[in-house]
Amino acid sequence: MDIVKKAQPDYLFIIERHLTFLPALNSTEAERAVLSKQAESRIDELSAAVKKKLFILNAMPRPSTKIIRILNKKLSQNLYINQSELIEPVDVTFANQVLSRAMKSCENCYLISYDKIFTEGSVFWMYDKRTKLSFFTGGQHLSPYGLLRIATLYKHLCSSL
């Protein structure tokens, strides 16, 4: 945060997985209230340090650390893959609501969503069922294939600056 305050950039992209804002499904209301307050405070701080626009990646489902192992096993045996097997049980809806609330008070903020890229119907896909390639690595990062899928989104955002 100190670096952002010192640099005071015109534009800032916050491209993180918001792991701290993804509570377990069984978390208490008190725990959720603390997370919500922390998120809103952090966004307020960041937006105050940015001159023109703050881009923030919306929360998304977190891939299991075993995603590659599960995919390899299921694909090699031609078994059905349930997307819920590839996702850790966290409350993405809560994190999205927190970010949306924080964005309402931030005039220079823009929420980036990967939903149109990775969602089909109401399902967030962790792999491409046509090519059988994973969008994510076992370390919960975007794979080269996943990065390729989002490249046009960032190209479009940056060309509009």
Predicted confidence (pLDDT) at residue 25 exceeds the cutoff of 80:
no
Distance CA 4, CA 34 (A): 24
What phi and psi, each to the nearest 5 degrees, are found at residue 124? -85, 115
Distance CA 67, CA 64 (A): 5
Predicted confidence (pLDDT) at residue 24 exceeds the cutoff of 80:
no
| Of 21-30, 60-69, 74-83, 137-146, the least confident | 21-30
Q: Bigger pLDDT: 23 or 3?
A: 3
Predicted confidence (pLDDT) at residue 18 exceeds the cutoff of 70:
no
Query: Where in the sequence is the domain holding 61, given as residue range(s)?
Result: 2-159
Percent of the chain with pLDDT over 70: 96
> What is the average pLDDT score of the chain?
89
What is the count of structural domains for the chain? Answer: 1
**Minimal CA–CA distance to 55: which of 19, 16, 93, 6?**
16
| Region of residue 8 (left: phi > 0; alpha: psi -120 to 50; beta: else) | left
CATH number at 24 reads: 3.40.50
Distance of alpha carbon 135 from its chain centroid, rounded?
A: 13
